[in-house]
Chain A
């Protein structure tokens, strides 16, 4: 009982000491009072200040930009009134029924001796495409035979189409005439979306487009069941498997610094420039394929295989894979510019070709 009094007394004493020493009852300093200078003005001055601002004067001399002439309808070539065709009465000459051609499969070619021609030297693949002109954001897009991520103005006439831009040399009086004349080059004209005839007047342009679908899920690995194994066996098997994986991983693990974002982007841009979906079926344009590319040290693809696809048919999957494979091979003519010291990082590349953005252009 006394012990309780002692404990209570000590506790209360400590609390009082903290309250006094800790500043519980000390005065809270007042916040600084902000002082603002004021001045007294007359009612005339106040009226002048609160009066509405006069409207800016309209400059009458600014010329109105000329409006482009919008024709009501594109005029197709005028067809002259056709002459009366003097064909005898139809009943007298029924159209002959065509003989349906017989279709027989021909055997594939048997190459007698496959010659390996010398490799044609190709210009190196550029890391990123050179943009000639800023994208036309203010004017309506013009139709162009090529649809690319970056719109490109039509090159001047007599200009050779090339990836790099090169100005034609200006002849100077003192400069001796070179033996070979350099010609101006420019990238092929491109637009960043499909422009239809109906787009020509802005009022009738399509107003809706398809929503991009979700990214396809990777196929989940099949789960094997081993009902006959005991728990300890399963654990032992798992451990062995893990050990094997560790061993394999240690031998295949890439060494050195990883690929930088810029290096990856450079590869992505290089492959993108050759990924042509212009001849793909509409179904293939909805198909995402994931391909594995085994690369040589020279930056060329050794082997390209299909890993997975969300295609709704084999034909669509095959078409999408063919387009991806063509892109990888075409743009690797001189070998992709990849850092050789990081070969272990890009020896195997998994490329996902997703046409979602292309479909809605």
Chain B
């Protein structure tokens, strides 16, 4: 399989199994998936359906047991651990349910973390950080620690951290799962804006149908298979 320029994700015959004691649990068996660049996809499904495993495989933080995985023009199933780490740093932004900010670092320092892996100078890093925090409307919270911010603000810092190195693909795992409705809508609006205005490809795992409404498409996973694909009206 050759990576296609207009495709962000290409999964072909991907399989993934977990071994627990003497039992082998098959998560995916010959799974196929194509996501075009610039798409915003919600992935829904019951617990254990393989949503998080799918994100792990797309982000190169877990390995498949077979098949081919091309993301952002790279066959990541062929990369070594070190190559995967470098690839993640420049191509993928992660957004987690529980924000996963470093409690000892300020908002600006948290956002700066991925930039420590780049050759950018200190001043350039600061400019990138300010821009990223500006995009999520937190330019006035540079020096605040996570404990001094609300859940919604922390998630916005996490989004700023995810986009600061300008990755092509954002992987979001229940990004609003820990937030109230109003705050969740704020976060989802930011993600929608990143997709529409900055052309970021987004794959978002969620249990919340209202969150899924912000995506262009929703894919339903059940027992490791996409059982239906609901094409939504592109709201662009």
Q: Do A and B bind each other?
A: no
